[in-house]
Amino acid sequence: MEIKKILVANRGEIARRVIYTCKKLGKKTVAVYSEADKDLPFVQEADEAVCIGEPHPLKSYLNIPAIIEAAKKVGADAIHPGYGFLSERREFVKACETAGIIFIGPTAESMEVMGDKASARAFARKQGVPTPPGTEILNSPEEAEELAEKLSYPVLIKASAGGGGIGMVKVERREDIKRAFEQAKSRALSAFGDDRVYMEKYLESPHHIEIQVLGDGKGNIVTFPERECSVQRRHQKVIEESPSTFVDEELRKKIRESARKLLSALKYKNAGTVEFVVDKYKNFYFLEVNTRLQVEHPATEAITGFDLVEWQIRIAEGENLPKEEDIKINGWAIEARIYAEDPVKFFPSPGEIKKLVEPKCSKFYWNAENIRLDIGYKEGNKITPFYDPLIAKLIARGKTRDEAIENILKALEEMIIEGPKTNIPFLKEAISSELFRKGGYDTHFIPKLRGEEK
C-alpha cells in the first residue's frame, strides 16, 4: 500500500528530519504544532500545518484525540510519531488503527511487552538473552534492603515504566536504600504515572551499547552496527559514536545476534533499538528496547548510508527488509546533542535565540567536510520551558575516528548560539579531551573528565 500523506506527530528537529525524507520520497506532509511552536521551521516546511492546542504537552503533543482529529481533517493516511511524546504509547497506536490511519512504527503488542522494563527483562530471559543481576518489582524499602545485601552494593533502583534515565537512583550504602526507594518511586509516579520500581546490580565500568534494528512483523530482523552511548549526564546521552572503540568483532557479532533473537521472537515490526550494558570484561546484558526511532539514529545513517526514516516508511508500506549483508561499516561517525542548558550544571536554559550561526552545511545533507546538522530552530525562535531543551544534533563522519573528531570539533567552533546558554563549551571540552580521543571510555566519562572520579 502506497502512503501519500504523512502527519508528523512531533516537533523541532525530529519533525524537520521526518519531513525531509517524506519530501525526498514525494510524500505530502502535515505538521501539528502547539501555540508555542507556531514560528518554528517545521511548521513552515510541511505542506500543511494544524494547530492542536496550548503549549503544555498534555494539551497538544500528548493529546491523542486532537492529533487523530487533525489527521482526519487533512486526509492523512499515516502518522509518524518521531521520538518521545506519543511514539511509545500503545493507546496511540490503537487510536490510529481505530481511525484507519497507518502508524509508522511498531505494534501496540510490542510496546506492551517492551514498554514495561520488568516484562521486557522477563521476555529477554525467556529468549536466553542475559539480563543484569536484579530483582522483580520491589514492594517495600525493607524488601529493597534485604535484596540489596544479596546483590551487594552498589545497586540501581529503577522505574519499571521508565526511560531516559528518569526514576533511576544509584545506592552505595544500606543506610541510603530507604530514601532512594522512595525517591525512585516518587520520580516514577510523576514521570510515568506508575510508581513500580525494581533493583539491578550496578555493574563495574559499564558501557552503554545499543543495536539499531528493523523488523518486518513476521519474525525477520536485520541489525546494524553498534552505537556507543556512554557519554551521559543524569543517565541521558549527550555524545554518541558508531562504531564503538570498546566493541571488538566477536562482541559485535554476539550482541547483534542477541538483538536479532530477541526481536525475532517478538515478531517486531519497523524500527527499534535494543540497548545493552557491557561491563569491563565484555560481558553484556539486556537493558531495554526503545520501540521507536532513536535520537541518535543519524550516527548509524552516517556509517551505513541507510536512511532509517525512509525504511520506516517503506516497511509501513509493506516492502521487504534490506539485506543484512548490505549493511556495512563505512568510516566513523560522532553525534553531539546541542542543548539549551548550562554547560557545567546541565540545567535547562530557555530563552530567545538572538544569534544563530550554523556550521557550513545544509540540514540533513552532508557537506564536503562530512558535517550534518539536524536543528529545530532558527534565529529569533524561543526555547520554551515546555519541552526538552534539545536545539540540534551535530553529526560528523570521517574515514577514521580521528578524522571524525577533527570534523566535529571544527563544526562546533563554527557554530554560534547566543541568547540561551548552551552545552557547546562542554561538547568541545569533552570531544577534544584525551579521555575521549583514546576511546574505551565508560559511563563514568563526565566525572572522570572533571576529575571527580579516578
CATH 3.30.1490.20, domain 133-201, yes or no? yes
Phi/psi of residue 256, nearest 5 degrees: -70, -40
Same fold across 5-104 and 207-449: no
CA distance 438 to 432: 10
CA distance 331 to 46: 33
Q: pLDDT (tens digit, 0 to 9) for every residue of the chain, 454 residues total? A: 899 999 999 999 999 999 999 999 999 999 999 999 999 999 999 999 999 999 999 999 999 999 999 999 999 999 999 999 999 999 999 999 999 999 999 999 999 999 888 889 999 999 999 999 889 899 999 999 999 999 999 999 999 886 667 778 999 999 999 999 999 999 988 878 889 999 999 888 899 999 999 999 999 999 999 999 999 998 899 999 999 999 999 999 999 999 999 999 999 999 999 999 999 999 999 999 999 999 999 999 999 999 999 999 999 999 999 999 999 999 999 999 999 999 999 999 999 999 999 998 878 889 888 999 999 999 999 999 999 999 999 999 999 999 999 999 999 999 999 999 999 999 999 999 999 999 999 999 999 999 987 5
b or e along 201-234 (b: 16 or more beta carbons within 10 Å of the residue's beta carbon)? bbbeebbbbbbbbbbbeeebbbbbbbbbbbbbbe
pLDDT of residue 1: 86
3-state secondary structure of 188: helix
pLDDT of residue 117: 81
Topology, domain 5-104? Rossmann fold (3.40.50)
HEC-encoded secondary structure of 211-234: EEEEEECCCCEEECCCEEEEEEEC
Assign residue 318 a region (left: φ > 0; alpha: ψ between -120 and 50; beta: otherwise): left
Alpha carbon of residue 171 to chain centroid = 25
User: Among 292, 314, 372, 397, which one carries the catalytic annotation?
Assistant: 292
CA distance 428 to 382: 24
pLDDT of residue 204: 81
Phi/psi of residue 405, nearest 5 degrees: -60, -50
CA distance 290 to 263: 11
Edge-first strand order for the sheet with 169-171 is: 169-171, 155-159, 197-201
Q: Is 292 a catalytic residue?
A: yes
> Can you tell me which residue has the cell 527483562?
121
Q: Name 156's bridge partners.
A: 170, 200
Look up residue 311 and give its three cell numbers. Answer: 525504511
pLDDT of residue 269: 98
C-alpha separations of 268 from 195, 214, 272, 314, 334 in Å: 27, 8, 8, 15, 28
CA distance 19 to 46: 7
How many CB atoms lie under 10 A from the CB of residue 335?
A: 29
pLDDT of residue 363: 83
CA distance 295 to 334: 13
* Per-domain residue ranges of the chain: 5-104, 133-201, 207-449
Give 121-130 contacts, CB < 8 A, sequence gap 24+. Answer: 121/286, 123/262, 123/265, 123/266, 124/262, 124/286, 126/265, 127/261, 127/262, 127/265, 128/261, 129/258, 129/261, 129/262, 129/286, 130/258, 130/283, 130/284, 130/285, 130/286
CATH fit for domain 207-449, picks 3.30.470.20, 1.10.3720.10, 3.30.9.10, 3.40.1280.10: 3.30.470.20
SS3 of the chain: helix, strand, coil, percent, to 5: 35, 25, 40
CA distance 454 to 57: 41
Assign residue 421 a region (left: φ > 0; alpha: ψ between -120 and 50; beta: otherwise): beta
